[in-house]
Amino acid sequence: MLTVTDLCVARGGLAILEGVSFELAAGRALVLRGPNGAGKTTLLRTVAGLQPAEAGEISGGGEAIAYAGHSDGLKAMLSVRENLAFWASVFDAGGVDDALKAFDLVTLQDRMAGTLSAGQKRRLGLARLMVTGRPIWVLDEPTVSLDAASVALFADAVRGHLAQGGSALMATHIDLGIPEAEVFDVGPFKAKPRAAAMDEAFL
């Protein structure tokens, strides 16, 4: 269970969201909603441990989290299969063949990742999640560049992950058709204007 309590997150020296609390249980998905610039990416980065929280607590995250952000994080000179094998070895996990199948990458498995189209790169970036063995997927706009068929593959992968007791926290503007998903609107948690604590030394 991922538990976020009274969290305040900041970006560029400014508090963005404050008083954020939610729980994410095994088998559940939580979709962050809010307009551009509302703070969804900042919240996801903080939950994933990529930046410190200004205040509040996050428990149950850490090593349990696999994060996929705006960048696909691929190695251009490795093949599709080699990219997945590399990440599987980093996480000491397996599942390369299942990941290739789930994201329709079998026929592309020997192609250099750098030669893939934007949507194919995104499919490979998302397939990486399946070889991490980590239970909590934290995903920032995972469906960018994906066509309708690929969005359906992604939704199937998330549903499969939830069915195995995993969970997913994601920012997305589209309806993925995942009945387990709850919506969390970040709008009401907009921070009152004030400088973030970490920048005090530079004021």
Ligand X SMILES: Nc1ncnc2c1ncn2[C@@H]1O[C@H](COP(=O)(O)OP(=O)(O)OP(=O)(O)O)[C@@H](O)[C@H]1O
Nearer to ligand X (CB atom), residue 42 or residue 143:
42
Distance CA 84, CA 71 (A): 16
Nearer to ligand X (CB atom), residue 165 or residue 187:
187
| DSSP conformation class of 191 | P
Q: Binding to ligand X by residue 12, rule CB under 6 A?
A: yes
Tell me which residue of 135, 123, 137, 48 sits closest to 83, measured CA to CA. Answer: 123
Residues 42-101 touching ligand X, rule: CB under 6 A, are 42
In this chain, which stretch among 29-37, 58-66, 91-99, 174-182 interacts with ligand X, using CB under 6 A? 29-37
Name the pairing type of β-strands 136-140 and 167-171. parallel
Q: How far apart are the first and last CA of the chain?
A: 38
Tell me which residue of 63, 58, 55 sits closest to 47, measured CA to CA. Answer: 58
Nearer to ligand X (CB atom), residue 9 or residue 162:
9
Q: Which residue is at the shortest CB distance from ligand X?
A: 12
Residues 31-50 touching ligand X, rule: CB under 6 A, are 34, 36-42
Nearer to ligand X (CB atom), residue 126 or residue 131:
126
Shortest CB 144 distance to ligand X, Å: 10
Dihedral angle over CA of 51, 52, 57, 60, nearest 10: 40
- The alpha carbon dihedral of 196, 11, 32, 45 has a sign of negative
Shortest CB 91 distance to ligand X, Å: 26
Nearer to ligand X (CB atom), residue 130 or residue 181:
181
Q: Which residues of the chain form contacts with ligand X (CB under 6 A)?
A: 11-12, 16, 34, 36-42
